[in-house]
């Protein structure tokens, strides 16, 4: 009955996007000393949401994550991972995930209130 509510789909999609971004940040940090490694990031949530199918929005299919070059300058060995930037990206991903959980919880509270529980 409530699976079709877009607020839950949006919150779930934002949480999955944040988790994917955190995974890319972890890969970047793991390759911080790899010569020639280019730092990557996940395309913004707005772009990802627009490209999602109905099945992906409902969590029944994989999200179309587009991994892009992070655009950070490379060091002399060709590695473009900046631990400072990765820390900031990780914090952004964590905040985005926390926001998604708060939105989901608030919407759930509103539904519970509306049905008298």
pLDDT at 51 over 60: yes
pLDDT for res 89: 96
> Is residue 31 domain-resident?
yes
Both tokens of 27, joined, read 């890969």
> Is residue 63 domain-resident?
yes
Average pLDDT over residues 32-57: 86
> Is residue 1 domain-resident?
no
pTM: 0.85
What is the tally of structural domains in the chain? 1
> Is residue 86 domain-resident?
yes
> Is residue 99 domain-resident?
yes
pLDDT at 1 over 60: no
pLDDT for res 49: 83
> Is residue 46 domain-resident?
yes
CA dist 72 and 40 (Å) reads 9
> Is residue 34 domain-resident?
yes
Average pLDDT over residues 39-68: 82
Three-class secondary structure of residue 7 per DSSP = helix
Both tokens of 101, joined, read 């959980």
Structural domain of 27: 6-114
Which is more confidently placed, 50 or 91? 91
> Is residue 108 domain-resident?
yes
pLDDT for res 83: 95
pLDDT band at 97 (very low <50, low <70, confident <90, very high): very high
Q: Output phi, psi for 29, to 5 deg.
A: -65, -40
Q: Are 28 and 70 in contact (CB under 8 A)?
A: yes
pLDDT at 109 over 70: yes
CA torsion through residues 27, 45, 89, 71, sign? positive
């Amino acid at each position: 009955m409530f699976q079709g509510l877009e607020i839950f789909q949006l919150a779930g999609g934002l949480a999955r996007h944040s988790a994917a971004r955190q995974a890319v940040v972890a890969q970047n940090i793991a390759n911080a000393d790899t010569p020639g490694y280019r730092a990557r990031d996940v395309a913004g949530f707005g772009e990802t949401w627009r490209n999602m199918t109905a099945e992906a929005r409902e969590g029944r299919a994989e999200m179309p994550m587009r991994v892009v070059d992070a655009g950070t300058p490379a060091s002399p060995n060709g590695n473009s991972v900046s631990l400072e930037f990765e820390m900031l990206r990780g914090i952004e991903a964590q905040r985005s995930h926390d926001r998604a959980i708060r939105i989901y919880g608030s919407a759930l509270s509103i539904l519970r209130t509306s049905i008298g529980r």
